[in-house]
Amino acid sequence: MELIVIHKSRNSTAGNGNNLLRLAVSSEFIAPVLFDGLSRSLYWGRNNGSAVLAVPEGWGVEHCATSQKVIPYRENVPICDVLRKTRRNLWFVVSNGRFATRINGELLDKVLAGIQADVVVVNVDPELLAFREKVLTTSQSRLVGFRRFYNDLAQPSPIPDDWPHQLFIKADILSKFLVDDALPLAFSEFINNCSSNSLKVRSLNIGGTILDLDTEAGLLGFLATRLNSSAQNHHSMNNKSRGQILNKDSVKISDTARLFGKVLFGQNVSVGPNVIIVGPAIIGNDVKIAQGAVIRTSIIGTGISVPRNQVIQNSVFVNGQQPPKKQTKRAKTSCMPVITNGTTVHKKSCTDNFRTWPRFSYAVCFKRIADIVAAIIVLILFAPILPIIALVIKLTSRGPVFFKDIRQGLHGKTFNCLKFRTMLLGADKIQDKLRMINKVDGPQFKLADDPRINAVGRFLRDTYIDEIPQFLNVLLGQMSIVGPRPSPESENMLCPSWRDARLSVRPGITGLWQVCRTRQPMKDFQEWIHYDTKYVRDLKLRMDLWICWQTTRKLVNNFVSQF
């Protein structure tokens, strides 16, 4: 049996003199998720969910609807009958509710089985996790050597001054610590009771991960993990939104709003037009989100109104806290003021990952002129054979001649990237079944002998004839002859800084990555990022001409090799 004690905080990490954990505990909507997460095995391998939570009186948990038993305390923590049912010769566990920890259960069992002690004090130390290296140096900072640890470690440590992350007490001696059937609230008093009863106390640090729930980063990380691990009440959104809603009753969402990831909604929530919510996120009861607002990985408590065009990122607003009333315009090509950790970051100090050039520079003006001229020439030259290719595709496989895929272009604007269809119908559905034999790393997908390719698709791909329709995208201003590989939003979401850098220019039919990649195993994604960002950083006419020359040589060689 485990007793999780949420102690009264001695400091203040939130406004109005209240600590952040108290605000979360007193929230009718957040507290059930928090309590359920603390009592689950997600953060500690031994616990099976049978826990009792002790919360200070006056923290407003009376209204909390949770399946866990919650007991209020004033001075000392009362030990209820449920906790007394811990069997003899087992450990009674007291956990510090401020911290969510994950420990290797097998290692902990082994330590507790071999230790000769009545009380074991355990603190979690990430530095003791497996696959860490320790470096030994001299007093002159000269390297002596290093050591790598391949398993999680546990090592003795001094007894701390305050309550540890976990405290293990032999169940048959629990009564010796109680004062009026309650556990002392002060850790120093608890240690004094151990000394007066001649009990053996051992203290150790053990490898594991830890989240401080009294900080915004820790609380958001903990609740995000709880949402991601939940498999209940998932409802898929329409095609415009790729998110999953948990509990969508009485939620009004505009057709133009977009959701990504998992979002937990309360009751009577209104989401306005063009709102973007990126999960994991929690939106409480009676919340109104005005038009154009952006919420990313945040907690919005009950009764809060998010202003029009407001951007909230990695923040917590509960119990009457309101976002700043100052509204910000959502720029198309520059970064927006955001709220990070409750603090507004203004445009002057905000990092803009989009690169810009002067209006009459090569990158903006002359490159576009060259693209138009080159696209017209290529389309005229291939005009006699395009109908023949289209006819062959139509006669050899069922489906349309062209394949249209939604990709992101300049500054993230989406467009239909055109190609001659080289695969069978339903190839995207088959891809999920073939994912395990994918030959490249990262978000890409490539097979040496892809079974989805149709009769003429191999020839069209090897000669790059399938990409000729993309010159129409170039004429429409959606693509360039040379640039980063056009990629969908699902791939660009993996790395925001890299995404914004490569979306500073139009995607290209060919590019630096296409002519320089080595196809080494597990390095293709790294090279993709490296060469795309390098192209944007060093963009100039000389580089474009070199890429076009290398591409032409490759096209000629590939075409000749087909015969």
Query: Which H or E run includes 166?
Result: strand 166-170
**Rounded alpha-carbon distances, angstroms, from residue 324 to 217, 276, 299, 304, 334:** 20, 18, 15, 11, 21
Euclidean distance between CA atoms 187 and 163, whole angstroms: 6
- The DSSP bridge pattern shows strands 294-296 and 276-278 to be parallel
N- to C-terminal Cα separation, the chain: 74
In whole angstroms, how far apart are CA 191 and each of 163, 201, 485?
A: 10, 8, 63
Q: pLDDT tens, 78-129? A: 776 555 555 555 788 888 888 888 888 888 888 888 888 889 999 999 888 8
- Mean pLDDT for the stretch of residues 476-496: 84
Q: For residue 240, what are its two tokens?
A: 């415009």
| Per-residue confidence (pLDDT) for residue 222, from 0 to 100 | 82
Bigger pLDDT: 547 or 1? Answer: 547
Amino acid 412: pLDDT: 83
Tokens in use for 99?
Answer: 């911290």
The domain locations on the chain are 2-211, 230-349, 362-561
Q: Is the peptide bond between 160 and the residue preceding it cis, with omega within 30 degrees of 0? A: no
Instruction: With a cut of 50, say whether residue 335 has pLDDT above it.
Output: no
Model pTM above 0.75: no
Greater pLDDT, 162 or 39: 162
At residue 447, the pLDDT reads 61
- Among 49-58, 343-352, 374-383, 525-534, which range has the highest average pLDDT? 374-383
Instruction: Show the beta-strand stretches assigned E in 423-487.
Output: 480-482
Q: Which residues contact 449 (CB under 8 A, 6 or more apart)?
A: none
More confident position, 512 or 434: 512
* Fold equal for 2-211 and 230-349: no
List all residues 6 or more positions away from 415 whose beta carbon is below 8 Å from its beta carbon.
406, 407, 409, 473, 476, 478, 479
Q: Where does residue 416 rank: exposed (0-12), middle (13-18), buried (19+ CB within 10 A)?
A: middle
Q: Is pLDDT above 80 for 511?
A: yes
Q: What is the DSSP string of 165-191?
A: SEEEEEGGGGGGG-SSSEE-SSHHHHH
Residue 135 banded pLDDT, cuts 50, 70, 90: confident
d(CA 100, CA 43): 6
Contact in structure between 88 and 53 (CB atoms under 8 Å): no
Q: Residues 245-264: pLDDT tens digits? A: 555 567 888 888 888 878 88
Say how far residue 521 (Cα) sits from the centre of its chain: 25
CATH of 230-349, one of 3.40.50, 2.60.40, 2.30.29, 2.160.10: 2.160.10
With cut-offs at 50, 70 and 90, classify the pLDDT of residue 362. Answer: very high
Per-residue pLDDT tens digits for 212-245: 888 888 888 887 777 766 544 333 334 344 455 5
- Whole-number pLDDT of residue 323: 64
C-beta separation of 176 from 119 below 8 A? no
Question: Which pLDDT value is given to residue 237?
Answer: 38
Which pLDDT does position 231 carry in this prediction? 40
Which pLDDT belongs to residue 37? 75
Q: What pLDDT score was predicted for residue 233? A: 38
User: For residue 316, how many other CB atoms are within 10 A of its CB?
Assistant: 25
Asked whether residue 366 carries a pLDDT value surpassing 90, the answer given is yes
Quick check: 202 pLDDT over 60?
yes
Residue 473, pLDDT score: 94
What pLDDT, on a 0 to 100 scale, did the predictor assign at position 88?
53
Decide the pairing of beta strands 119-125 and 242-246. Answer: unpaired
Q: Quick one: pLDDT at residue 528?
A: 82
Q: What is the CA radius of gyration of the chain?
A: 30
**pLDDT band (50, 70, 90) for residue 337:** very low
pLDDT at 416 over 50: yes
User: How many CB atoms within 10 Å of residue 512?
Assistant: 27
Q: Looking at residue 159, what DSSP letter applies? A: P
The answer to whether 78 and 71 have CB atoms below 8 angstroms apart is: yes
Question: Stretch 140-155: mean pLDDT, rounded?
Answer: 79
Band of residue 286 on the pLDDT scale cut at 50, 70, 90: confident
Q: What is the dihedral of CA 304, 305, 310, 314, to 10 degrees?
A: 10
What pLDDT does 419 receive? 92
Say yes or no: domain 2-211 is CATH 3.90.550: yes
The predicted structure's pLDDT at residue 30: 76
> What tokens appear for 545 in the block?
């001409």
Q: Span 63-92, mean pLDDT?
A: 68
Which residues lie below 8 Å from residue 168, measured CB to CB, with a gap of 6+? Answer: 91, 92, 93, 112, 119, 120, 121, 122
Q: Average pLDDT in the 159-163 region?
A: 90
Q: What angle is formed at CA 247 by the lines to CA 245 and CA 250, rounded to 5 degrees?
A: 105
